[in-house]
Amino acid sequence: MRVMVCVAFGLLCMTGSVAASSRDLTMEAVNGASDPSVASEGDVSPILIKAQVLLDRARFSPGVIDGRDGENVRNAIRAFERAHELEADGTVDEALLAKLNGTSSDPVLMSYTIAEDDVKGPFTAIPERMEDQAKLERLSYSSPEELLAEKFHMDINLLKELNPGKRFDRAGESIVVANVASPDGAKDRPKADRVEVVKNERIVRVLGKDGAVLAVYPASIGSEEKPAPTGSYTVKAVAHNPVYTYNPDYGFKGVKAKEKFEIEPGPNNPVGTVWIDLSIESYGIHGTPEPEKVGKAYSHGCVRLTNWDAEDLAGMVKKGRRSIFSTDARRPRLNRRWRNSTGRASDPRPLRCHAF
**Residue 322: its pLDDT value, please?**
79
Cβ contacts of 289-293, under 8 Å, gap ≥ 24: 289/1, 289/126, 289/139, 290/1, 290/2, 291/1, 291/63, 291/64, 291/150, 292/1, 292/2, 292/3, 292/4, 292/6, 292/63, 292/64, 292/66, 292/155, 293/4, 293/220
DSSP 27-44: HHHHHT---GGGPPTTS-
CA angle 277, 281, 283 (to 5 degrees): 50
Residue 41 pLDDT level (bands cut at 50, 70, 90): low
Residue 43 pLDDT level (bands cut at 50, 70, 90): confident
Cβ 80 vs Cβ 72: under 8 Å: no
Please determine, for residue 342, whether its predicted confidence score (pLDDT) is greater than 70: no
pLDDT in tens, 220-246: 997 665 677 788 899 999 999 999 998
Please determine, for residue 271, whether its predicted confidence score (pLDDT) is greater than 80: yes
pLDDT in tens, 290-325: 999 999 866 666 899 999 999 999 999 988 777 777
pLDDT in tens, 149-183: 999 999 999 999 999 999 999 999 999 999 998 65
Please determine, for residue 184, whether its predicted confidence score (pLDDT) is greater than 80: no
pLDDT in tens, 111-155: 999 999 999 999 999 999 999 999 999 999 999 999 999 999 999
pTM of the entire predicted model: 0.85
Nearest to 294 by CA among 309, 282, 284: 309
**Residue 272: its pLDDT value, please?**
97
Helix (H) or strand (E) holding 57: helix 46-57
- Burial of 36 from C-beta contacts in 10 A (0-12 / 13-18 / 19+): buried
Nearest to 33 by CA among 79, 92, 88: 92
Q: Which residues does 347 contact at the CB level (< 8 Å), separation at least 6?
A: none
Better-scored residue on pLDDT, 316 or 354: 316
Strands (E), 139-269: 174-178, 194-198, 203-207, 213-218, 220-221, 231-240, 244-246, 261-263
Q: Which domains does the chain have, with CATH numbers?
A: 27-103 (1.10.101), 109-178 (no CATH), 186-326 (2.40.440.10)
Strands 194-198 and 322-326: parallel
- Burial of 136 from C-beta contacts in 10 A (0-12 / 13-18 / 19+): middle
**Residue 302: its pLDDT value, please?**
85
